[in-house]
Structure 1
Amino acid sequence: MIKLDQKCVALLKRTGAYDERTLECMRLCFELLTLTTAIDRDCASRLGAHGVSEGKFVLLFLLSDTKDGLSPHELAEQAGVTRGTITGLLDGLERDGHVDRHSHGEDRRKLVVRLTPKGRRLARELTATHGRWIASLFSDFSEAERASLRRLLAKAYAGTDAGRASLKGSDDDRT
């Protein structure tokens, strides 16, 4: 059994208006939220030991696949963050010696971001160790259990506003 965060326990204690099935469904949601919080905290701790946030890790990972680098705009788009956020992340990575910003060869108004040798080493190390750690969370699950969990999570996701919007978008793509 997952030990719920205190706020979830408090909410469950004050739900006298709900029947047992509703309470059980709420508890499952709170257990999932507690798990994701624990994963986020572990992730931050593991990356933090290397002086890197999750946002910086994503940029290191994205840049590790490219020899010629990417523009800040491309990084923002691929990482799913704003240009303002990218600027802050790049400032930190550059200050730590992990990336360099260069003028684009053909258009000097544009910037290209590339990993430094130090950044490339860190990206390689973190990609390997972090990927193994993430995979280890579900490595004791059988193939059938992972497939079942994937279906169940998708079913719960379909009940959220984001899930309904993505389903609507996929319906629009088929027409």
Structure 2
Amino acid sequence: MDPLDLKYLAFLGDAERHGRPEADDMRLCFEVLALASAIDRACAARLAPHRLSEGKFVLLLLLRDAPDGIAPHELASRAGVTRATVTGLLDGLERDGFLVRHDDRDDRRRVSVRLTEQGRTIAGGLFVEHGQWIASLLAGVTPSEREGVGALLRRVRDNLATPAEDIPVMAVCHAQ
């Protein structure tokens, strides 16, 4: 069975039926997307038994090394999410007993977020476990293969920053 999602197979099938020369490049791109999606799903499945999402896990890791706490707006900035998103994540973590919010004694408008003992325990243990799992995904990959894949992915990412201006979007989307 093809590991590609049906949406990718439909797009790829159309390109192949019409003899598009870029079909092989499209397949590789779709394989990268399918792999990223599979890793995301596996990550979510590994964190779910701990009542964590990837976003909550990131906040636990950020808070792990901040015994004096971090302000919610600073957590949002460090995690790369909006303040509204961080508020929802913090609400869930607080509800599950992983953190507490503390009001500033001098300025009640200010709040800092700190891990509870339960939060510190799970953050520390899961960080090690998660790192080992990520490393296991590359089991059997040689250092030179790793370097080659990394170089390829960086080149593709660079291509995103400098799109081909000579290919109109409509031509790509409606090519037959």
- For the criterion TM > 0.5, the same-fold answer is yes
Is 1:83 the equivalent of 2:83? yes
Residue 36 of structure 1 aligns with an amino acid whose one-letter code is A
Residue 48 of structure 2 aligns with an amino acid whose one-letter code is G
Assess if the C-alpha contact under 8 Å between 1:75 and 1:86 holds in 2.
yes
Which residue does the alignment assign to 2:111? 111
Structure 2 residue runs of 5 or longer lacking an equivalent are 164-176
CA drift at 1:2 = 6.3
- Rounded to whole Å, the distance in 1 between the matches of 2:31 and 2:59 is 30
CA drift at 1:106 = 4.2
- Rounded to whole Å, the distance in 1 between the matches of 2:124 and 2:162 is 37
Which residue does the alignment assign to 1:63? 63
CA drift at 1:105 = 4.3
Assess if the C-alpha contact under 8 Å between 1:98 and 1:115 holds in 2.
yes
Which residue does the alignment assign to 1:126? 126
**TM-score normalised according to structure 2 size:** 0.86
1:92-171 equivalences in 2 (<5 Å)? 92-160=92-160, 163-164=161-162
CA drift at 1:141 = 1.2
Assess if the C-alpha contact under 8 Å between 1:60 and 1:115 holds in 2.
yes
- Rounded to whole Å, the distance in 2 between the matches of 1:45 and 1:121 is 20
Aligned positions, number: 162
CA drift at 1:107 = 2.9
Q: Deviations over 1:64-110 (max 9, x none)?
A: 01111100011000000000001100000000000000012443321
Assess if the C-alpha contact under 8 Å between 1:2 and 1:31 holds in 2.
no
CA drift at 1:49 = 1.6
- Rounded to whole Å, the distance in 2 between the matches of 1:137 and 1:70 is 32
Assess if the C-alpha contact under 8 Å between 1:99 and 1:113 holds in 2.
yes
Q: Deviations over 1:37-57 (max 9, x none)?
A: 000000010001211001100
Structure 1 residue runs of 5 or longer lacking an equivalent are 166-175
What SS does structure 1 have at the residue aligned with 2:159?
A: coil
Assess if the C-alpha contact under 8 Å between 1:103 and 1:111 holds in 2.
yes
CA drift at 1:139 = 3.2
Is 1:17 the equivalent of 2:5? no
What SS does structure 2 have at the residue aligned with 1:60?
A: helix
Alignment RMSD (CA, Å): 1.7
**TM-score normalised according to structure 1 size:** 0.87
CA drift at 1:5 = 1.4
